[in-house]
Structure 1
Amino acid sequence: MPPFPHPAATALRTLASAGDPSQLLPAREQMAFTLGFHIVLVPFGVALTTLMLVANYRGLRHGDDQAMLLAQRWSKVAAVLFAVGAVSGTVLTFELGILWPGLMGKYGAAFGFPFTIEGIFFFLEAIFVSIYIYGWKHLPPWAHFWTGVPVVLSGVGGTASVIAANSWMNQPGGFTLRGGRVVDISPARVFFNGAFWLEAIHMLFAAYIVAGLMVAGVYAVGLLRGRRDRYHRNGFLIGFLVGGAAVPAQIVIGDFIARAVFNDEPRKFAALEMVPATDTHVPETLLGVLIDNRVRYGLQIPDAASLLAGFSPATRITGLGAIPADVRPDGPTVSVVHLAFDIMVGLSFALLALVAWYAWLWWRRREAVPANRWFLGCSAVSGLAALTSLECGWVVTEVGRQPWTVVRVLLTRDAVTTQGNLWPFFAASLAIYTAVGTGAVLVLLSMRRRWHSGGDERVDVPYGGPDRPPAGADPAHAGDPGIAGHTGKTAEGR
């Protein structure tokens, strides 16, 4: 992903310095907006298809037509969001070349390689999404299920490819710069650079958390409104278990990444922890801002930053003052990175508490879906919390890299175009994304209204009619209460 700030940075950033090109601010703001829009869609392209397959398997294995109905509906939602993501991702690709010729012109031979791989995965995903949607009425049940597996794998591969490009910006390698030209490129070292594995795993876990908890939140609202049929219980449980299972692992991976940043990118770590001067026994600052190289309005925990960075209060942390002035991030930039980091971590631990709450409620009553209204209310907003945490994570990695586009190789002010007025281009992008986003929301709302009324689904259960189990399922499980722990007719809840 591009190395530019999220729109949240706009309110706090100062005016561009006199030495910066006039195109730098609009270029960064445009990239911020389009990236911030596109990243919302990524988790659904990666993880919603996994939820779809889980429900599909449940329907085939246990004759659960409500799980099958979920799979069918989620596949249609995934197709809509895939189409929107294709549009927003294509615009991002054009922006890289138009707005940042200093990056693509000199380093495109290396930086562009992961995007070539991503393009292959994208086309595979598009092909198999189409086959899977078509296959609901035209393929045998298990053959149809297996056509969904490449959709999931392509989504994972495509995301990992984009993360390879982004992580290469943090730890560039696999090339030689000779006479101002990139030569001797090693595609494997470009793709599997020093930051790749941790960042790729971190993003994939984030995708599963966001998609899983967003889906669970939708069905939690239905449960709060008294719709405790198997359809809503299945929808909540599949989403919550997939998303919730990734939360503890994500926190562990995040800790490894923070320590890797401490070792490999001391400048970014100083911004994350808002450390003005190099020192030991550095406190952990919660919230706060950096004004005149002093930390203001924050709550400090003595020695905690040093302890977390090196497992010892005596760990020395490089401060912002040790960074050369021409590549030192300014106060507003540091404040944005630090606050985004605090919000990301804080929300992650709040989600971990929600997962622990679910485990405790299950242990006490053995209910797959607890009836506790406070728990369901928190679950209903957990998806929005996860999405906010994801956005803040991208603020941390993109704004935290400033003023570099490629760390220690290319400054952002040297990467931006020097031609034309970019503000009209930015305005056109705003209009396009607003239209596409509005259209997507209207389509999804229309689908929701139709499904809520039961209009076209009563006679459209895949592989079979509404009163019999899916073809190929074990008839003995036709009335199985399934993972929701709910007894009743197989078509209940329509």
Structure 2
Amino acid sequence: MDDFLAARSQMALSLGFHIIFSCIGMVMPFFMAVSHFYYLKTKKQVYKNITKAWSKGVAIFFATGAVSGTALSFELGLLWPEFMKHAGPIFGMPFSLEGTAFFIEAIALGFFLYGWDRFNPWFHWVTGLVVGISGIVSGILVVAANAWMNSPAGFDYINGEYLNIDPIKAMFNDAWFSQALHMSIAAFCATGFAVAGVHAFMILKKKNIEFHAKSFKIAATFACIAALVQPLSGDISAKDVAKRQPAKLAAMEAHFQTERRAPFIIGGIPDEKNKKVDYAIKIPGLLSFITYGDINAEVKGLDQIPEEHHPPVAITHYAFQIMVGLGMIMMLISLLYFYQLWKKKEILSTKWLLKLFAIATPMGFIAVEAGWTVTEVGRQPWIIYNVMKTSEAVTPMPGIVYSFYIFTVIYLSLSFVVGFMLYRQIKMVDKIYDIPNDSVQKH
């Protein structure tokens, strides 16, 4: 493995772990706020128990997210110094604002964790809500910085120099809204299905049923709404990518030839050497309709893009297929869930639906990882789209491969520790907040 590949692999590893911690840190406070609201309105102890249990999970992921996020900020400077030298002054504003949002989130979380029976109950609830709002703002600001890499704005690039810098225009670039919307909804979907899946599994094991049933309903409702809304944001993103990054769209769909009535490809194995896709299901005209709203529209293929500017087609295509496929499965589960609610059927009696949620526990996060793979790999060979290549930004320092190995061990160890802490937390919940099964109320 050469140093360039090692640097890219280290960033991919770091982002891959951090994005999970970030999504949970962004979304769980809203679940916590809902259960806390129910407690304040109903005074039922079970909702207070749920809020306290979830707040401990939020604290765990906040701490790990802070550590992994700090590591990422150092990696940007150490692994990609040429990129930061030129890009830092342009898109530094969202990162500095993200730091402010992070501090607000940390202060609000401290107030919430230690504010039980010390603050006015509704002020205490607001501090928990602020944790979620600042977390969402923090995530949007980071995505805005990434969107700038896909749609650079706020400067003039003249003779290799970055002039007339406008940080506001850079932050609100053409891609920030579509990426921030898609990522925020994905975070709710992924975290919701993960949390609902864990509680569904515990219900199936007949552990502390009332606690897990009410927790499941809150998380599942968030998850299913997000899963049904996500295709709309996906459509916005697809149209945006078609306009700004035709090479990425072509790689996503393994679309080698420019053509009208371009088919939407499901599955298939891209053959980059012979410029074709084997074993794929093709729906004529659908790609043209999705991207331009016209079944006869022409969609640009990789044949109109210089080969040295082609993204890795196979990786981008497979990641896109995984993201869309898992998204469709979660949509189906969501429709079944809301159908059961509409029919006023007791969720606890539909074991098959609980099993589906349990199976779907990791799906959202796998889809998120696949989506970020599409975003990052699909932009290659550029680190700043059409301005600076990734190979031009990497550090000349040797020995990066050893750094990659060390970080791999650190992140695997961190994952083991977090998993162990969550396992202990779940076990403690069932011991501390155990409620007899015969007291379960219908909901």
TM-score by length of 2: 0.95
1:397 maps to: 375
What does the per-residue CA deviation read over 1:413-449, in whole Å, with 9 as the maximum and x for residues that have no partner? 1111112110111111112212222222222222222
Amino acid at match of 2:303: G
The 5 A counterparts of 1:17-416 are 22-178=2-158, 180-227=160-207, 229-291=209-271, 292=273, 293-329=275-311, 333-364=312-343, 366-367=344-345, 369-416=347-394
Counterparts of 1:144 and 1:307 in 2: how far apart (Å)? Answer: 49
Counterparts of 1:150 and 1:308 in 2: how far apart (Å)? Answer: 37
Amino acid at match of 2:125: F
Check conservation: 2:91, 2:167, Cα contact below 8 A.
no
1:446 maps to: 424
Amino acid at match of 2:363: A
What does the per-residue CA deviation read over 1:87-135, in whole Å, with 9 as the maximum and x for residues that have no partner? 1111111110011112101111012221111111111111111111011
Moved more, 440-449 or 35-44: 440-449
Counterparts of 2:44 and 2:167 in 1: how far apart (Å)? Answer: 46
What does the per-residue CA deviation read over 1:352-387, in whole Å, with 9 as the maximum and x for residues that have no partner? 1111111222222x1362521111100112231111
Structure 1 residue 46: Cα displacement: 0.5
Amino acid at match of 1:356: L
Structure 1 residue 29: Cα displacement: 0.8
Moved more, 92-101 or 381-390: 381-390
Query: Please, which runs of 5 or more residues in structure 1 have no aligned partner?
Result: 1-14, 16-21, 459-465, 467-479, 487-494
**Aligned pairs, how many?**
438
Moved more, 341-350 or 434-443: 434-443
Amino acid at match of 1:64: K
Structure 1 residue 302: Cα displacement: 2.4
Structure 1 residue 345: Cα displacement: 1.0
Check conservation: 1:288, 1:335, Cα contact below 8 A.
no
Counterparts of 2:157 and 2:400 in 1: how far apart (Å)? Answer: 30
Check conservation: 2:213, 2:348, Cα contact below 8 A.
no
Check conservation: 2:207, 2:430, Cα contact below 8 A.
no
Structure 1 residue 182: Cα displacement: 2.7
Query: Please, which runs of 5 or more residues in structure 2 have no aligned partner?
Result: none
Structure 1 residue 228: Cα displacement: 7.1
Structure 1 residue 304: Cα displacement: 2.3
Check conservation: 1:268, 1:400, Cα contact below 8 A.
yes
2:442 maps to: 485
Check conservation: 2:340, 2:347, Cα contact below 8 A.
no
Moved more, 281-290 or 250-259: 281-290
Counterparts of 1:428 and 1:227 in 2: how far apart (Å)? Answer: 40
Moved more, 70-79 or 256-265: 256-265
Check conservation: 1:104, 1:111, Cα contact below 8 A.
no
Amino acid at match of 1:312: D
Check conservation: 1:209, 1:243, Cα contact below 8 A.
yes
**3-state SS of 2:258 partner:** coil
The 5 A counterparts of 1:451-490 are 451-454=429-432, 485-486=442-443
**3-state SS of 1:138 partner:** coil
Amino acid at match of 2:330: L
Moved more, 381-390 or 52-61: 381-390
TM-score by length of 1: 0.85
1:476 maps to: none
Check conservation: 1:358, 1:370, Cα contact below 8 A.
no
Change (3 A) 1:208 1:33: same
Amino acid at match of 1:316: E
What does the per-residue CA deviation read over 1:458-481, in whole Å, with 9 as the maximum and x for residues that have no partner? 8xxxxxxx9xxxxxxxxxxxxx98
What does the per-residue CA deviation read over 1:144-186, in whole Å, with 9 as the maximum and x for residues that have no partner? 1111122111101100100100111111101223554433222
Change (3 A) 1:438 1:229: closer
Structure 1 residue 77: Cα displacement: 0.6
Identical counterparts, % of pairs: 34
Q: Higher Cα Rg: structure 1 or 2?
A: 1
Structure 1 residue 82: Cα displacement: 0.6
Amino acid at match of 2:60: V
Amino acid at match of 1:295: V
Structure 1 residue 137: Cα displacement: 4.2
Counterparts of 2:417 and 2:207 in 1: how far apart (Å)? Answer: 29
What does the per-residue CA deviation read over 1:236-286, in whole Å, with 9 as the maximum and x for residues that have no partner? 000001111111211111011111111221111111111111111222221
Amino acid at match of 2:310: R
Check conservation: 2:202, 2:209, Cα contact below 8 A.
no
- For the aligned residue pairs, the C-alpha RMSD in angstroms reads 1.9
Higher helix share: 2
**3-state SS of 1:297 partner:** strand
Counterparts of 1:389 and 1:436 in 2: how far apart (Å)? Answer: 22
Moved more, 229-238 or 87-96: 229-238
